[in-house]
Chain A
Amino acid sequence: MNQTITDEILQIENVKMYFPVKKGIFRRVIGYVKAVDDISLSLKKGETLCLVGESGSGKTTLGKVVVGLYKATEGKIFYKTEEGTYEISKKLPLNVRQKIQMIFQNPYSSLDPRLTVERTLSEGLEMTEKFKSKPKELSSYLATLLEQVGLSKEYLFRYPHELSGGQRQRVALVRAMSLEPDLVVCDEPTSALDVSVQAQVVNLLQDFQDKLNLTYLFITHDMALAKYISDRIAVMYLGKVVEIANGEELFSNPLHPYTKALLQSLPRFEARTSEKGKKNTLKGEIPSPINMPSGCRFRTRCPYATKICEKIEPTLINVDENGEHRVACHLYDKS
């Protein structure tokens, strides 16, 4: 898979997404929820970048900004194709817009209960040049797609309530893939599914990636899944990326105290060697994104916090020569 990774497809530059908090009869703005706070990332064509972190860390918000469902408060996102570079906004031309798709977390709410599978799937396709007013071609195209995910074409005429969770997620998968996208944002696509079904969906995602040379921005809180599916992993905490590295490196050499703690909290699937209930874990919970701690955001839960962490917010610094592994922590700031 590595040979296909060539050039950049998406560039996220200093993106901030603030939601105002309003109070009183005049809906005065009293503060902001800083869901995503100054994130810069770039995705190369054909790679899978995983965003991991606890709930409330801003993973989903960032995903929605990338597909244009939210308009970023500040910062820009560029989508690069052979034809040119486009800034993600409402004005994106339709043929570019359809190259960026999203798969949602909950297949029970992401499919319209009143539409048959066929209606759901053809809504987007009917807008394209290829299938405009060509219902016959369209339905045979859909039948082949459904077959690829292991559903027979009878499923075209079913409603979502007639399908199991795994089948629904496969329909959602087909909906995203039918427009032959380049970039797909997957927002916890398997977290509502049983493990045996999760394995089916993950395998399908990888098949599609191989076939269409897709780029995935994969959002998950399951570290083991992240390691398995990703090329690189970005760990998020309270709207910031605190560490980014390729999967192997992150797991063998985690640097940020938060990454370390996350890895230690994983339920290990192996015979317990120690007594039960003696896991090392993080103390406390993620602070409210309205009243952010000063300096380093993680310092309130960090076992190594010092004076400097209170005052200065750490920035991402390179750990290795080629800048593949980056961490935002004063512990590793040698300057």
Chain B
Amino acid sequence: MKLLEVKNLKTHFKTLDGLVKAVDGITFDVEKGKILGIVGETGCGKSVTGLSIMRLLPSTAHVSGEILLNGEDLLKLPIKKMEKIRQKKISLIFQEPMVAFDPLYTIGQQFLEVLNQHENLSEDEAYERSIKMLELVEIPDPKKRFNEYPHEFSGGMIQRVMIALALLDDPQLVIADEPTTGLDVSIQAQIINLMADVQKKMRTSTILITHDMGVVAELADEVMVMYTGKIVERAPVKDIVESPLHPYTKGLIEAIPKLNTPKGEKLKPIPGMVPSPFDLPKGCKFYPRCPVRMDYCKDHEPPYVEVEPNRFISCWRFTDKEGGHSS
């Protein structure tokens, strides 16, 4: 069952220097109870994708396409209805929980505020629900912690609270934007365990946005790799890890020092830099950095096609020039 279907989503920003196509025509879906990982370098449009789904972008953003949640197009909803969707159906886990919480209110006040907005619960019921949620994310002594301020929590603990807050209203979809970035490895592992656990218990779907291939390999069911606002490859996690096809995916994986990388062997960075959004290449966006480029790629943009069941890729190496796929 598909929970979320995104069709030809485009998010463009008008700036003084020109049009920035932060997200440029992406199509994907999220199954019920599954975790979809979105990876890519800084500026590839992964966070903007998340914010577009939540409709939390500033008014300079121009969003088009379709975002269907249970068949209902979120982009067509009036803003009042969208507010109901946020938190009740979709919620967001931010990258920096310390910044996401209001430092002037206790954790408890911020939990109750959410519940007051969304449910007809009595004070006691709302309190019970909050405490239960804090227990679920394994906060020790939740009744005491409920009355503490965000600065009294450590980085790992406040991220747990953030997860609890995101799950408070039993949402169907959670968008987690770099939930483990900035945490120590041991705490990161705790959060990974917690997210997998909670996700299993509550049967939510998750979009996991990260630049860390390791986190994706640990958590995701499917992976989508983005580059300059487009999806270059999408496949089940096992395929991405074991046999990536797109040269960009391969490059990302090869650049990571792994435990079995021999000493003295050079790391393989992807040559060049991510192109400026004002000056994108005409054909394939990865052409200038691609190690297996062909002349044809320079002027022709590759289509995004399914080359094997459940395996999508946008590269001329795997696609016929007529648009079908070669083998």
**B-contacting residues of A (Cβ < 8 Å)?**
1, 54-55, 164-166, 194-200, 202-203, 206, 221-225, 227-229, 247, 251, 261-262, 264-272, 275-279, 281-282, 285-286
A262 touches B193 (CB 8 A): no
Question: For A196, A228, A261, A269, which residue has the most chain B Cβ atoms within 10 angstroms?
Answer: A196
B85 within 8 A of A: no
Give CA–CA (A206, B263) in the complex, Å: 11
In the bound assembly, the distance between CA atoms of A1 and B312 in angstroms comes to 44
The yes or no answer to B241 lying at the interface (CB within 8 A) is yes
Q: Of the candidates B195, B214, B242, B266, which one forms a contact with A266 in the assembled complex, judged by CB atoms under 8 Å apart?
A: B214
What would 15 A/B residue contacts be, using CB atoms closer than 8 Å? Answer: A54-B185, A54-B187, A224-B258, A262-B185, A262-B186, A267-B189, A267-B214, A268-B218, A269-B213, A275-B196, A277-B194, A277-B196, A277-B199, A277-B200, A278-B196
Contact B259 A277 (CB under 8 A): no
- Report yes or no: B269 in contact with A196, Cβ–Cβ below 8 A: yes
Q: A203–B269 contact, CB under 8 A?
A: yes
Interface residues on B, range: 35 or more
Contacts of B187 in A (CB 8 A): 54, 285
Interface residues, chain B, with chain A CB atoms under 8 Å away: 35, 41-42, 154-157, 184-190, 192-197, 199-200, 211-215, 217-219, 237-238, 241-242, 251-253, 255-259, 261, 263-264, 266-270, 273
- CA distance in complex: A265, B218 (Å): 11
**CB atoms of B263 and A277 under 8 A apart:** no
Note all chain B residues with C-beta closer than 8 A to A261.
186
Kindly provide the distance from the CB of B156 to the nearest chain A CB, expressed in whole angstroms: 6
Partner of A278, one of B155, B193, B270: B193
CB distance from A103 to the nearest CB of B (A): 17
Q: Which residues of B contact A247 (CB under 8 A)?
A: 263
Given contact pairs A265-B185, A268-B218, A277-B195, a sample of 4 additional A-B residue pairs in the complex whose CB atoms are under 8 Å apart: A267-B188, A269-B258, A276-B35, A282-B190
Contact at A224–B193, with CB atoms within 8 Å?
no
Those 9 A-B pairs whose CB atoms lie nearest each other, nearest first: A277-B196, A267-B214, A199-B269, A265-B189, A281-B189, A199-B267, A228-B257, A196-B270, A199-B255
A195 to B261, CA, bound (A): 15
Whole-angstrom distance between the alpha carbons of A13 and B76 in the complex? 68
Contact between chains at B41 and A267 (CB < 8 Å): no
Contact of B184 among A55, A194, A200, A229 (CB under 8 A): A55
B-chain residues with CB within 8 Å of residue A270 when the two chains form the complex: 217, 241
CB contact between A271 and one of B213, B242, B267 (< 8 Å): that residue? B242
B42 and A202 form a contact (CB under 8 A): no
Distance (whole angstroms) from the CB of B178 to the closest CB of chain A: 12
Is the pair B257, A269 in contact by a Cβ cutoff of 8 Å? no
Also in contact, A199 and B268, with CB within 8 A (given A165-B42, A265-B185, A277-B196) = yes
In angstroms, Cα B186 to Cα A222, docked, is: 11
Q: Kindly report which residue of chain B lies nearest to residue A54, judged by CB atoms.
A: B184
- Residues A224 and B256 in contact in the complex (CB < 8 Å), given A196-B270, A272-B218: yes
Cross-chain contact of A276 among B211, B218, B258, B269 (Cβ < 8 A): B218
